[in-house]
């Protein structure tokens, strides 16, 4: 058993949600000396570049979460052509969805229907489409933006575990992204429906959207909200954020020509950077 397998195995018995709540409380602490210590140590350990932040002085942030979800300067993330990355991170997978199955990592696949909350109706348009998975590492910008312009049709909170979602765990925990707590957002776009899945993870204190604020589960069941009044978001507009890092999965009904120069698990992408083009674009 190698180190990555051991790291994945020891996560199974951990109280994921309790750990995440405790970390969330610490991340909201506003005691000046403590929040400054947390922020400055984090910057040092993960070599965070503050020069592109709208507010580069780490001591001005009210708490760790405010620093972690910091805004970038308006010119820091230009929006490219075609399908663009919704966030900063590592492109961990991309390609075709084969008969309702996505690739999680080498040797690991998982169900599209399970990912989207167990609703076959919701999953059907994407069964033979395309997908991309972006993993946000701790040093990255943690706001999530629209990879295409779209109109929100439906949002579903899906309860689950909170395994770590780093590359080691993705390679060793079967069905990781369909097991973790997640938020599924379905948009109508010029290329058909688009699913954006914000996946929770160990010590992720919360997921927020710009239209509903912080998502606070009311029960252990899938909670679906359908939107009759149009909520329209332009390409590049912020749609949500993670309080501590995680993963975004995009699903499309048609074929996407992903850029060949973006190597899986080895390519850092920035929000707004082109990922590929649709066949009919």
* pLDDT tens per residue, range 210-236: 999 988 666 678 899 999 888 999 999
Instruction: Give domain status of residue 74, yes or no.
Output: no
Pairing of strands 130-135, 247-252: antiparallel
Do 169 and 208 reside in the same domain of the chain?
A: yes
Instruction: Give domain status of residue 137, yes or no.
Output: yes
| CA 235/CA 85 separation, integer angstroms | 10
Q: What is the pTM of this model?
A: 0.92
| CA 87/CA 84 separation, integer angstroms | 9
Do 53 and 153 reside in the same domain of the chain?
A: no
Of the residues 35, 69, 103, which one is the last residue of a structural domain?
69
| CA 204/CA 227 separation, integer angstroms | 26
Do 62 and 91 reside in the same domain of the chain?
A: no
Domain that holds residue 48: 3-69
Chain position carrying tokens 């709540």: 21
The number of residues making up the chain comes to 281
Do 47 and 176 reside in the same domain of the chain?
A: no
| CA 155/CA 213 separation, integer angstroms | 13
Domain count, the chain: 2
pLDDT (tens place) for every residue of the chain, 281 residues total: 667 676 667 766 766 666 667 777 888 899 999 999 999 999 999 999 999 999 999 999 999 989 999 999 989 999 999 999 999 999 999 999 999 999 987 778 999 999 999 999 999 999 999 999 999 877 888 899 999 999 999 999 999 887 878 777 787 788 889 998 899 999 999 999 999 999 987 766 578 899 999 886 666 788 999 998 889 999 999 999 887 768 999 999 999 999 989 988 877 899 999 999 997 64
Do 25 and 128 reside in the same domain of the chain?
A: no
Q: Cβ(210)–Cβ(239) under 8 Å? A: yes
Kindly list the catalytic residues.
88, 145, 246
Q: Cβ(158)–Cβ(90) under 8 Å? A: no
β-sheet bridge partners, residue 155 = 185, 225
Instruction: Give domain status of residue 150, yes or no.
Output: yes
* pLDDT tens per residue, range 233-275: 999 999 998 877 689 999 999 999 999 899 888 778 999 999 9
């Amino acid at each position: 058993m190698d180190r990555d397998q051991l790291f994945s195995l020891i996560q199974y018995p951990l109280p994921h949600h309790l750990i995440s709540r405790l970390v969330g409380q610490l991340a909201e602490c506003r005691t000046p000396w403590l929040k400054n210590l947390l922020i400055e140590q984090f910057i040092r350990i993960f070599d965070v570049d503050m020069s592109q932040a709208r507010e580069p002085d780490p001591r001005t942030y009210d708490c760790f979460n405010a620093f972690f979800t910091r805004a970038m300067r308006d010119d820091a993330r230009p929006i490219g052509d075609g399908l663009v990355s919704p966030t900063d991170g590592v492109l961990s997978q991309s390609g075709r969805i084969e008969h309702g199955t996505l690739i999680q990592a080498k040797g690991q696949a998982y169900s599209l229907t399970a990912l989207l909350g167990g609703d076959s109706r919701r999953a059907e348009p994407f069964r033979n489409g395309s997908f991309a998975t972006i993993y946000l590492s701790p040093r990255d910008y943690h706001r999530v933006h629209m990879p295409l312009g779209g109109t929100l049709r439906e949002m579903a909170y899906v309860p689950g575990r909170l395994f770590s979602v780093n590359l080691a765990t993705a390679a060793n925990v079967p069905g990781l992204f369909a097991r973790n707590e997640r938020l599924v957002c379905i948009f109508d776009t010029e290329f058909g429906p688009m699913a954006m899945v914000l996946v929770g993870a160990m010590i992720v204190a919360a997921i927020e959207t710009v239209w509903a604020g912080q998502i606070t589960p009311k029960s252990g069941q899938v909670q679906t909200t359908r939107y009759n009044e149009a909520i329209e978001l332009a390409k590049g507009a912020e749609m949500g954020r993670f309080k501590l890092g995680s993963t975004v999965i995009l699903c499309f009904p048609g074929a996407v020509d992903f850029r060949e120069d973006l190597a899986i698990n080895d390519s850092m992408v920035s929000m707004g950077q082109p990922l590929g083009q649709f066949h009919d674009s």
